[in-house]
C-alpha cells in the first residue's frame, strides 16, 4: 500500500483546517493510500515533517494550509534523494501557488482532486540556501506586508495586505538597490522589487501573464516610483496584466538574480518575512511533482 503524509496547519483558513482532515483521509484511503496526519504547532514543523516523509520514502505529501505552510513543506523537499509527490489543499489568505496550478480554492474540491492521476513537474526558486514557492519581494512595501498579523489575515483575508500596502504607499519610502541579473546590472531607487515564479502574486493572476510554472525563469519587476497618485495607474496596469509596460516599471526575466543595498532592506518570501538584503535568487527547473486536477 502507498504511504501518504498529510501536513496540516490548524491556524489556516480562519482556523478551519482541522474540519477537512477526515475528508482528506477518506479520499486518500479510497485512492489506495495509508494515511499519516501531522499537525504543525510552530515555525519549521512542516519542513521537519516533510523531511521525515522523504527519509521514510512516502509516496505523497499533502499540505493543508496557506502559502506559508506550503513554503515550509516544499523546503523539506530541498535536495532530497527521495522526493514524494506533493498534494495541495489551499486554506490560506491568497494561495498563489494553487491559483497558478488551477487547483481549486474551495477546500472540498481541492480534497477531491487529491485522487487525480494527473501530475505536473514545476519549477522551484532558490533564495540563498532555501527554497521559495512563488514570490520574493524586497523593499519598503515588501517589509510592511510582512507585518500583517495572523489575526488580520484570518479576519480580513486579502484586505489585510491591502490595508498595510496603502499605509506604506502614503510614505513613499524607497531604497537604493543594486540588481544583477544574467550579467546585467541595474542600480537606482525603488520601493519594491518582485521576483515571481508564477503568474499569480498576492492573488493577482495577471501580474506576469507570460509566466509558466515550468518555464525555468524568474519574472522580475523593478518599480521605480510608487507615490500615492502613481499607484493608481500601477494598479490599473496590474489588473489588466500590463504591469511590465508601465512607464515606471522595469520588467525582465532571468535564471539568476542578486539584489543588494547599502541600506537595511527587508524581504517578503511567499507572504512571510524573509532575510534582509543581500539575497541571491535562482531557479530549479521542474524540481517537484505536484498533483493537479484532471482536465
Q: Are 7 and 58 within 8 A, CB to CB?
A: no
Q: Are 286 and 122 within 8 A, CB to CB?
A: yes
Q: Is 157 helix (H, G, I), strand (E, B) or coil?
A: coil
Could you say which of 39, 205, 256, 272 is catalytic? 272
* Alpha carbons 228 and 238: distance in angstroms, whole number: 15
Q: Compute the chain's Rg from CA coordinates.
A: 19
β-bridge partners, 184: 181
Q: Is 26 a catalytic residue?
A: no
* Alpha carbons 93 and 115: distance in angstroms, whole number: 24
Q: Are 265 and 138 within 8 A, CB to CB?
A: yes
C-alpha triplet 109, 43, 101: angle, nearest 5°: 30
- HSE at residue 236, side-chain half, CA atoms within 13 A, is 6
Catalytic residue IDs: 272
Amino acid at each position: 500500500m502507498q504511504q501518504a503524509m498529510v501536513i496540516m496547519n490548524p491556524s489556516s483558513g480562519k482556523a478551519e483546517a482541522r474540519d477537512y482532515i477526515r475528508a482528506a483521509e477518506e479520499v486518500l484511503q479510497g485512492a489506495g493510500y495509508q494515511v499519516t496526519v501531522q499537525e504543525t504547532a510552530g515555525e519549521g514543523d512542516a519542513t521537519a515533517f516533510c523531511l521525515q516523509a522523504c527519509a521514510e520514502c512516502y509516496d505523497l505529501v499533502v499540505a493543508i494550509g496557506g502559502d506559508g505552510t506550503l513554503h515550509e513543506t516544499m523546503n523539506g523537499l530541498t535536495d532530497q534523494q527521495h522526493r514524494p509527490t506533493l498534494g495541495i489543499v489551499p486554506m490560506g489568505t491568497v494561495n498563489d501557488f494553487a491559483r497558478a496550478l488551477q487547483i481549486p480554492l474551495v477546500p472540498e474540491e481541492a480534497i477531491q482532486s487529491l485522487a487525480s492521476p494527473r501530475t505536473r513537474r514545476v519549477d522551484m526558486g532558490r533564495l540563498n540556501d532555501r527554497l521559495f514557492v512563488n514570490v520574493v519581494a524586497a523593499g519598503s512595501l515588501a517589509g510592511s506586508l510582512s507585518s500583517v498579523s495572523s489575526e488580520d489575515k484570518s479576519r480580513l483575508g486579502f484586505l489585510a495586505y491591502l490595508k498595510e500596502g496603502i499605509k506604506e504607499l502614503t510614505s513613499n519610502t524607497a531604497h537604493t538597490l543594486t540588481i544583477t541579473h544574467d550579467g546585467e546590472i541595474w542600480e537606482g531607487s525603488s520601493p519594491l522589487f518582485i521576483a515571481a515564479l508564477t503568474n499569480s502574486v498576492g492573488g493577482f493572476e495577471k501580474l506576469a501573464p507570460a509566466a509558466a510554472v515550468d518555464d525555468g525563469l524568474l519574472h522580475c519587476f523593478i518599480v521605480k516610483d510608487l507615490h500615492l497618485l502613481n499607484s493608481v495607474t500601477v494598479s490599473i496596469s496590474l489588473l489588466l496584466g500590463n504591469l511590465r509596460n508601465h512607464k515606471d516599471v522595469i520588467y525582465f526575466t532571468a535564471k539568476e538574480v542578486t539584489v543588494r543595498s547599502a541600506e537595511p532592506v527587508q524581504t517578503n518570501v511567499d507572504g512571510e518575512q524573509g532575510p534582509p538584503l543581500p539575497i541571491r535568487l535562482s531557479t530549479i527547473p521542474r524540481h517537484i511533482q505536484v498533483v493537479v486536477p484532471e482536465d
